[in-house]
Amino acid sequence: MKEEKKAVLIAFSVQSGKFESHYERNKFFRGLYGWKQMIRKEVVVVGRKKPKEKVYTYQREGLLDEIPHEKVDQSSFIVPENEFDKIERFMKEWRNKVMWKSFKVLLDEDLEDFFKEGLEEETEEEEEEVE
């Protein structure tokens, strides 16, 4: 018999007018999705009249970088059921500025491998509870 693979679909909508600034709105998205930081520096090279510009790039992680997920649309994604509490805590921090809903779903076979790691952890936790 095939085991059901449970997950949660999260859909959200930002209420842009409730954010105090673009910075605060970006803070929400960066906290969720992460972001790429680019730092440009002028470096003086011996023998050159003009300084040379160097670009340093860093990937800054967001919450979804830590959680197996599948992006469904611009503002919706699916996570394994056992990872939902992390998303719930994050969304509750933004409750006055972001409307969100969650829906329990069963995974299609195509997504099973994608979430395999997260779902294996859930199975191990359930086995530990039984023991």
Helix (H) or strand (E) holding 130: helix 116-130
Does residue 1 lie within any of the structural domains? Answer: no
Segment 44-64, tens digit of pLDDT: 888 888 888 899 999 999 999
Model pLDDT, residue 126: 47
Model pLDDT, residue 129: 47
Mean pLDDT of 77-90: 95
| Dist CA 126 CA 81 (whole Å) | 13
Confidence (pTM): 0.72
DSSP state letters, 52-63: EEEEEEEEEP-H
pLDDT confidence of 115, banded at 50, 70, 90? low
Model pLDDT, residue 79: 94
Does residue 14 lie within any of the structural domains? Answer: yes
Does residue 42 lie within any of the structural domains? Answer: no
Does residue 115 lie within any of the structural domains? Answer: yes
> Which of 87-91, 99-103, 111-115, 116-120 has the weakest average pLDDT?
116-120
Does residue 46 lie within any of the structural domains? Answer: no
Give the end-to-end CA distance of the chain in Å, rounded to a whole number: 23
CATH number of the domain residue 126 falls in: 3.30.70
Domain count, the chain: 1
Three-state DSSP class for residue 108: coil
Encoding tokens for residue 102?
A: 């969650």
What is the domain range of residue 69?
A: 6-34+63-130
Does residue 117 lie within any of the structural domains? Answer: yes
Does residue 85 lie within any of the structural domains? Answer: yes
Does residue 78 lie within any of the structural domains? Answer: yes
The number of CA neighbours under 13 Å toward the Cβ of 49 is: 0
Model pLDDT, residue 5: 80
Greatest C-alpha distance within the chain? 73
